[in-house]
Amino acid sequence: MSSAPVTSIPTIDVSSLATGLSYDTPEAKAVGKLIDGTCRNIGFLLVKGHGVRPETKANFLAKMK
């Protein structure tokens, strides 16, 4: 584990996992390894490329208020 302080939360593009296709591709495996390493070493991550429509996100956030 690194002893350097984390100054930002990493953003990981999961679009290769959000396609509905096989997870047994080099791209999907690379993203899986990146998520695994980030969770083990930092514990937090932001996700992009997840496929959630902006309207769905806005509706969810509005209901949280």
31-61 confidence digits (pLDDT tens) = 999 999 999 999 999 999 999 999 999 999 9
**Nearest alpha carbon to residue 46 among 10, 8, 18:** 10
Sequence spans of domains, the chain: 11-64
pTM, full prediction: 0.74
Q: Extract the tokens encoding 31.
A: 């993203």
| pLDDT tens figures, 5-17 | 778 999 999 998 8
CA distance 17 to 39: 17
